[in-house]
């Protein structure tokens, strides 16, 4: 845990999956065919605080829901990569890292399922997951939040990083 705490002090960019990380993985289907998700307000608050403190926050998801995109945009998240095949998430990740010249050792990624495996298994990224991630993901992550997806796992990692850097407070 001490090594992970040390890694928290170096993070400048948070990248989160949506389904199973910012949500509990449930998708509600309406008669119109529209799908909606529920997010926790504490995760929203933590993302807002991270942005205010100057951290980069990016979203990387295979799903492409207008409601999620609008919510993120209204919070001020600018780097939103949604849609596309789930087996190509690593390409979107690598494109983002290259486009913005990011150092992977300063990136925290949180994912919960097999489409996140290729990113989470990269040696330089700080790999994290919610407590209810699939076993293959939990087996490779450097930090497993005590919180489940959609139940403040995002808040947990943001708060830990910001506290380690002296940027979290009232």
CATH of the domain at 96: 3.40.50.1000
What is the span of the domain harbouring residue 105? 1-165
Number of folded domains that form the chain: 1
Per-residue model confidence as pLDDT tens digits over 40-51: 999 999 999 999
Q: By the 8 A CB rule, do 141 and 134 touch?
A: no
Measuring CA to CA, how many Å separate 144 from each of 48, 49, 77, 157? 22, 22, 24, 9
User: Is 19 annotated as ligand-binding?
Assistant: yes
Residue 36 is assigned to a structural domain of this protein: yes
Residue 16 lies in a domain: yes
Residue 122 lies in a domain: yes
- pTM exceeding 0.85: yes
**Both tokens assigned to 60:** 């990387």
pLDDT digits (tens, 9 = 90+) for 47-97: 999 999 999 999 999 888 888 899 999 999 999 999 887 888 999 999 999
Q: Is position 170 within any domain?
A: no
């Amino acid at each position: 845990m001490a090594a992970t705490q040390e890694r928290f002090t170096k993070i400048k960019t948070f990248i989160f999956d949506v389904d199973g990380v910012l949500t509990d993985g449930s998708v509600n289907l309406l008669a119109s065919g529209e799908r909606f998700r529920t997010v926790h307000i504490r995760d929203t608050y933590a993302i807002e605080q991270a942005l205010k403190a100057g951290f980069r926050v990016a979203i990387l998801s295979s799903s492409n829901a207008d409601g999620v995109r609008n919510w993120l945009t209204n919070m001020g998240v600018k780097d939103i990569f949604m849609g596309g095949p789930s087996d190509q998430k690593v390409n979107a990740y690598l494109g983002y890292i290259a486009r913005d010249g990011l150092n992977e050792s300063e990136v925290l990624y949180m994912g919960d399922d097999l489409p996140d495996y290729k990113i989470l298994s990269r040696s330089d990224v700080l790999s994290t997951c919610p407590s209810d991630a699939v076993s293959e993901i939990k087996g490779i992550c450097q930090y497993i939040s005590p919180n489940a997806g959609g139940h403040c796992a995002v808040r947990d990692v943001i708060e830990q990083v910001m506290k380690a850097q002296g940027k979290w407070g009232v």
